[in-house]
Chain A
Amino acid sequence: MGRCDISWGEPVKKALFLLLICLAAGSIPLLMTRQSFADSLETVATALARRAGDWTAQEKNGTYDRKTIFDYIDGAGEVYRAYNMRGCLSRSYTAAGKPTIVLDIFDMGSSRDAFGVFTHDRDGKPLEVGQEGLYREGWLSFWKGRFFVSVYMERETVAAKEAAFRLARAVDSIIGKEGPKPPILRRLPSKGLQDQSIRYLHHPMLLNYHYYLYDENLLNLGQETDVLLASYRRDGKRARLLLVLYPNPKRAQEAHRTFRSHYLPEAEGEGAVLLENGKWSAASRAGKYLAVVLEADSRYLAEGLLEEVRKGL
């Protein structure tokens, strides 16, 4: 018995030791994620100057997570949650008699989702800040790495605009590291693509925001699907393309079937269907991808675009 105890005890101890190592190793990414997220927003906050021109940062930063974001920006918090937001740091800059400038930095967890949330609102003039930036009167935004940054002026004045730009550039330089865009972008045909029209998303609610399609989730979209919405212009004719990457071909196939039966029931094969507004629509699936030309000015454009997508997959 005694020998037996010894002979079984050692492997058990080793196994337990190995198990502990594995558990500890397994928890490292978790700890790192949590820690690096906190450090990242904190690092930005610490490194960022508390003055911008005549404006001074208020003493306390606002910090929000996925739950408390609603307290800060009301229902708009859903947009950031739909892009997997991890946290938000908010800082208000004030100056006597001048409009408040509000800086919000969202940690989106990945550069893909930082890019995605940036594409949610693409109005504005391109701005050379971050990986891509935009300016509209009273508001400028950009994305870089896994961060989406918004600088909002309660009222735009020359001085406020100057301070807002200064803040944006300061945050840009503190973030430092850039990140990749979603790989699905490479699947879009390039000819006639309107870059500013591209929206990258996951959630059906966001698709309906940009292009109302249906009141049920016919395409079975969710956090695990990558969705692109893009406009094309070729020889004076326009088209709008939807491209979805599913986790597996079966799900893509099912979505294709459901979409066709509810939206294009009269479709024959992969041929285009004339919609009631005089535009053409068509859908096609290849592997894990589903491509839908939502609207095209001509049948030729609808079917041609779909064919190009298919070839590129």
Chain B
Amino acid sequence: MGARKKIITRRDFLRVGTCFTLGSLVGLPITEDTHADSVKRSRVVLVRDRRVLDSSGQIDRIVLRDMLDGAVAALQDVSEPSSAWERLVAPHDIVGIKTNVWPYLPTPEPLHDAIRERLTEAGVREENISADDRGVLRNPVFQRSTALINARPMRTHHWSGLSTLLKNYIMFVPNPSRFHDNACERLGAIWHLPHVKGKTRLNVLVMITPLFHGMGPHHFSRQHTWPYCGLIVSKDPVAADTTGARIIQAKRDAFFGEEKPASPPNRHIGAADTRFKLGNSRPERIELVRLGWEEDILL
């Protein structure tokens, strides 16, 4: 007989309240084994450049590509972006770029273009690269893929509190709404599915104009985005999401003038660490490298 699953209630959060608030970005390390204790720190690169947005709010492709190059090189600890990409992928790889098409805040097209360009320069054949979101299960490149690159903007979300890199893989299951229970806590399980597991080479969390609060059926309002002008890049999706979530939380607190956790409280990032062992959510296990613009960095 397996051990009976412990029901986690609000009181469990209250008991650890001296360390973590209810809206905490970490999981419940007191109740479960911590993956982070037994693994090395995760490197996360935050790169910012205010020039990535022009005066009309449009993305500057060149600046964005340079940001990506700088971040990937720093992540791999090399000086040349080209060698950084060559360490990420091999010419024989078949690469799916998992994007997000949510109309109000999609993965910027200049970003997939830049990733595609760098992949081809690293030797991956053009026909072995595809960017997709809702069609990934039917996409032949994704079906044959040996590598995935995960790229999406961060935003608040009705059910998960935050739409994250972890959540971006929800389209790898045929019935995404099955994962909406308990603030989408089980999203990490998707990363263990055979057609996904172990394939992700790079995560790019787009923080150019993140959405820090949602309202209405469309869960979007321009006034709740801001020009943060950043990218968060890491091989560890949990660490990248944790870093992004800290920024969103700081922005919410500043905007509303009080501590205002996202509703519902984010649970899937912590669970991805403690339950699904996908990476590090504890700040002390994250090595944060900052590049570029420092003003209002919120970290």
Within 8 Å of chain B (Cβ to Cβ): is A172? no
Among B15, B181, B218, B219, contact of A205 (Cβ-Cβ < 8 Å): B181
The A interface, classified by DSSP as helix, strand, loop or mixed, is mixed
On B, residues with C-beta under 8 Å from A are 7-11, 13-15, 17, 22, 102, 157-160, 176-177, 180-183, 185, 215-219, 221-223, 263-265, 267
Among A70, A141, A214, contact of B10 (Cβ-Cβ < 8 Å): A214
**A139 close to B221 (CB less than 8 A):** yes
Among B14, B102, B215, B264, contact of A209 (Cβ-Cβ < 8 Å): B264
Quick one: CB contact mask for A232-268 with B, threshold 8 Å, 1 for yes?
0000000000000000000000000000001100000
| B268 → chain A closest CB, angstroms | 12
| A187 → chain B closest CB, angstroms | 24
**B216 close to A262 (CB less than 8 A):** no
- The total of Cβ contacts below 8 Å across the A-B interface reads 95
Residues on B with C-beta less than 8 A from A211 are 10
**What separation, in Å, do the CA atoms of A209 and B222 have in the docked complex?**
23
**B157 close to A209 (CB less than 8 A):** no
Write 23 A-B pairs (CB below 8 A) sorted by A numbering. A73-B218, A73-B219, A75-B158, A75-B180, A78-B158, A78-B159, A106-B217, A137-B221, A138-B222, A139-B221, A141-B216, A212-B13, A212-B183, A212-B264, A214-B8, A215-B8, A215-B267, A218-B9, A262-B7, A263-B9, A275-B14, A276-B11, A276-B15
Among B11, B215, B216, B267, contact of A275 (Cβ-Cβ < 8 Å): B11
Which residue of chain B has its CB nearest to the CB of A79?
A: B158
Within 8 Å of chain B (Cβ to Cβ): is A34? no
Known: A75-B158, A76-B158, A102-B218. A215 touches B223 (CB 8 A): no
**A75 close to B217 (CB less than 8 A):** no
| A154 → chain B closest CB, angstroms | 7
| B137 → chain A closest CB, angstroms | 15
**B7 close to A137 (CB less than 8 A):** no
Known: A205-B181, A210-B263, A212-B22. 6 other contacts (CB 8 A): A75-B158, A76-B218, A152-B216, A215-B182, A215-B267, A275-B14
Task: Report A102-145 residues with CB < 8 Å from chain B CB.
Answer: 102, 104, 106, 121, 123, 136-139, 141
Residues on B with C-beta less than 8 A from A76 are 158, 217-219
| B220 → chain A closest CB, angstroms | 8
**A150 close to B216 (CB less than 8 A):** yes
**B215 close to A136 (CB less than 8 A):** yes
Residues on B with C-beta less than 8 A from A212 are 10, 13, 22, 183, 264-265
| A267 → chain B closest CB, angstroms | 12
**What separation, in Å, do the CA atoms of A101 and B14 have in the docked complex?**
43
Which residue of chain B has its CB nearest to the CB of A104?
A: B217
| B148 → chain A closest CB, angstroms | 21
**B223 close to A138 (CB less than 8 A):** yes
**B159 close to A121 (CB less than 8 A):** no
Within 8 Å of chain B (Cβ to Cβ): is A46? no
Within 8 Å of chain B (Cβ to Cβ): is A277? yes
